[in-house]
Structure 1
Amino acid sequence: MCGRFSLFSSFEDIIQTFDVEKMINEDEYTKTYNIAPTHDIITIINDGRINRMGKLRWGLIPKWASDPKISAKMINARSETIDEKPSFRESFIRRRCIIPMDSFFEWKQDNAIKQPFRIKMKNEQLFAVAGIWDTWYSSTGERINSCTMLTTSPNELMSSLHHRMPVILPKKEYENWLNPLEQDTQVLRSLLVPYPTSGMDAYPVSTAVNSVRNNDQSLIQQIS
């Protein structure tokens, strides 16, 4: 499970990294060190022609849902069954997105306490987590665009922290994942594998990250 992450790269870095041609206004982007479920998060989609940057609520609300509160329970989707579950199948085939991150957080049980760890790329660069999205309408016409991030089995680094990890896409696969015309489930599922341990790093951080009210650079600093 992935339940917190950070995105504090510059607006320009996000645009360049993900080849964005249409984007939100720069003043709509806020660097955030403690992003939590149900927050509106930066995402990248492809409309069949170009990559677009926008915001989606983190926590998928399927079209058939009667209550948008289901969003809080739909922040992750298992990649192994993504094309079997009614909540996710259509979005997996037709509505995929990228969720940019600088790092994510996971908690390791250490005796009586849960120690948070920050997980990032060794090269400190932005990375892309595979997501899917959907649009939900209420009976009164309210519209919510939402997403969930895909998870897979852990690599060697992550296995010491948790039994799942986000699906991190290599840069060469961004185009394939975002392409709405690519609907071959075997091709798409082949992308949903653990990212190589050699490219990742993890270290303990302050338990201040446990509270969503805390949101500053100190949350990503390594502790001894």
Structure 2
Amino acid sequence: MCGRYALTATPDDILHFLSVIDIEDFPARFNIAPTQPILIVAAEDHHQLGRNLPTRRALLARWGFIPGWVKDVRSFPLLINARAETAQEKASFRGAMRHRRILVPASGFYEWRRPAKETGLPAQPYWIRPRKGGLVAFGGLMETYASADGSELDTAAILTTKANLAIAGIHDRMPVVIQPDDFSRWLDCKTQEPREVADLMQPAPDDFFEALPVSDLVNKVANMGPELQKPIILAEPQDPPPKATAQMSLF
């Protein structure tokens, strides 16, 4: 899954990476948690010179997807992730997979490796970032929820897929990574049906990310500084990661 991530790039870096129309200034965020507002990028058509020109817009959405048919938000579970393998079939995500695919820019994400219970060891957090540095774009889904009082709230979820060999020793899931060459196809919900972008929801290449053990500061949402990403030396021996096995295609 993906339950915490960071976005520490400058607005100019994000503008260049995602080719969005405009973006407001914002501070670096080292510990983005569920229910908080997150930056997302969606496709938008602008009518110009008698034709529609596809563009991209950046906006904020609540990290916690709410389907339009929900009546009582308080009794509905928090949906921060959507499984890529089943999102097209699930009632919660089916409409968004067809009509409202988005990109979620990130500098990396956090994941916890949970040792066997008999070891008595706590979960070990890892800061997982692109090996070459820079930004990454997670595949996501968006829904604008209209409440009974007429107010609207943009909400979002991050798609996840089976972990690649580099991440599998920490967790069995990882965010879907959309490569820059595929941004337009992923965001094109007018001509690209879910089955036609299924090939984009594969695990990232095994050498794409690097995982660095970090302290448990990230466990608390109130901790928001760069010290969260400072690598540590593990003091306690960890369980050996499972043996790597070849992965088959999910589709």
State the TM-score bracket (shorter-chain normalisation).
Answer: over 0.9
Match 2:224 to one of 207, 215, 218: 215
SS across alignment from 1:80:
coil
Percent of aligned pairs sharing the same letter: 33
Distance across 1 between alignment mates of 2:98 and 2:12: 30
2:63 pairs with 1:66: no
Distance across 1 between alignment mates of 2:10 and 2:113: 30
User: How far does residue 43 in structure 1 lie from its aligned partner after superposition?
Assistant: 0.6
TM-score (norm 1): 0.95
2:18 pairs with 1:13: no
Instruction: Tell me the residue number matched to 2:29.
Output: 32
TM-score (norm 2): 0.85
Match 2:180 to one of 166, 171, 179: 171
Distance across 1 between alignment mates of 2:85 and 2:191: 19
SS across alignment from 1:208:
helix
Higher share of residues assigned helix = 1
2:40 pairs with 1:43: yes
Distance across 2 between alignment mates of 1:211 and 1:137: 31
SS across alignment from 1:147:
strand
SS across alignment from 1:5:
strand
Per-residue Cα deviation, 1:71-107 (whole angstroms, up to 9, x for no partner): 7620000000111001101100110110000010000
Per-residue Cα deviation, 1:189-222 (whole angstroms, up to 9, x for no partner): 1111000011210010010100000000000111
Distance across 2 between alignment mates of 1:186 and 1:164: 21
Structure 2 residues not aligned, in runs of 5+: 46-53, 234-251
Instruction: Tell me the residue number matched to 1:161.
Output: 170
Letter in 2 for 1:44: V
Distance across 2 between alignment mates of 1:91 and 1:32: 27
Per-residue Cα deviation, 1:108-135 (whole angstroms, up to 9, x for no partner): 0133210000111011110000001011
When Rg is computed on C-alpha atoms for both structures, the one with the higher figure is 2
